[in-house]
Amino acid sequence: MTESIIEPDLPIIDPHHHLWDLRPLFGAMQGPLHPFSAALSDAAYYAFDDLYSDTHSGHNVIATVFLECHAFYDAARGQHLQSVGEVEFVNGVAAQGASGLYGAYRPCAAIVGHADLTLGAGAGVVLDALSAASPRFVGIRHSAAWDADPEVLGPVGRAPEGLYRDAAFREGFAELGKRGLTFDAWLLEPQLGDLLDLARAFPDQPIVMDHCGTPLGIGTYRGKLHENFDRWRASVRAIAECENVTVKLGGLAMAFCQLPDKGPMAGTGSEDLAAMWRPYIETCIEAFGPDRAMFESNYPVDRWGASYAELWNAFKRLTTGASSDEKRALFAGTAARVYGLEHLLPV
């Protein structure tokens, strides 16, 4: 399906995408694929050329932010420092993009890496190594996604239950504030109370809630999106009262959400996607406000439900009634402020 691009000149900073090589992992897989794996089967390798193609499919993407995904870890380092390799790799991609060969486009202009915060105060050593690896490093993500049903997350694997409430984790979390680093939080809708508790305990620490809080429509949650919507909305509104938290508007095309329940890229147009996502996106914008919300692609994971061009068209359909200042914030301004990219915004 090919759609005309809506508002093609609107500047976008895509604040959430990945780069990786999952081909060895897929080569070892046997039997039926979990929907998450099926969604990535045609994107097992996703690097600069793939990102460039997607971000140049018609929308005016001026810059991007890379999010950790356990890619290209450095096996020669000690266990807890291997994640430095990912930041070094992405910094190289960013340098390629900044070479001048691709115009003003700045891919991976900010890098969110990973450090194991359960190391407690010892996480500071890892954070310092990540900072030394790239001037573009701005913070970390330590995912807490967990569910009692192993079919929900499938090959992604589960964090320990209640990770964000763990004392050792919080000791490590405190190291972020000492260094002025951001924190991206990924967890699932039934766990949002853990994020609320963390945000209240560290009111001065910038936190980004990924993927609208990840409503679930898979495994034991299949067919229960409507049933659980009020619970999700109440959690989102409570978290939004914490002024240190911003929200990423996206991730709804992941296989976990089943919005849509077809994939990968089964041809659902942006008008239908917008209708599906509207309750979640509008609730988040109403709760957080445009200055604390940012649209994200979550590519290539969100290839499950939408092409890159259709995904951003859907977001633009959802903001038809927004003012120019509100659109500037939602599509670029909030991401620029949170990740230190304000110098890239058009004057």
pLDDT recorded at residue 304: 84
Mean pLDDT of the chain: 95
Helices 84-97 and 123-133 meet at what angle, rounded to 10?
Answer: 20
User: What's the whole-model pTM score?
Assistant: 0.96
Q: What is the mean pLDDT of residues 230-238?
A: 98
Amino acid at 255: A
Instruction: Give yes or no for residue 40 having a pLDDT over 80.
Output: no
Of 274, 347, 341, the closest CA to residue 98 belongs to 341
Residue 50's SS3 state is helix
Q: What is the per-residue pLDDT across 247-279, written as a single tens digit (0 to 9) for each?
A: 999 999 999 999 998 765 667 899 999 999 999
Domain 11-344 of CATH type 3.40.50.300: no
Residue 125, classed as helix, strand or coil, is helix
The pLDDT score that the predictor gives to residue 158 is 84
Q: pLDDT value at position 39? A: 66
Sorting pLDDT into bands at 50, 70 and 90, what band is 2? confident
How big is the chain by its Cα radius of gyration, in Å?
19
Please check whether residue 218 is in contact with residue 256, taking contact to mean a CB–CB distance below 8 angstroms. yes
CA dist., res. 66 & res. 113, Å (int): 8
Per-residue pLDDT, 30: 61
Q: How far is CA 338 from CA 91, 180, 192, 248, in A?
A: 19, 11, 21, 11
Q: How many CB atoms lie within 10 A of CB 238?
A: 16
**Average pLDDT over every residue of 184-199:** 98
Q: Rounded to the nearest 5°, which phi and psi values hold at 260?
A: -90, 175
Report pLDDT for 71. 96
Dihedral of the CA atoms 158, 264, 222, 207 (nearest 10)?
50
Q: pLDDT tens across 62-110, in order?
A: 999 999 999 999 999 999 999 999 999 999 999 999 999 999 999 999 9
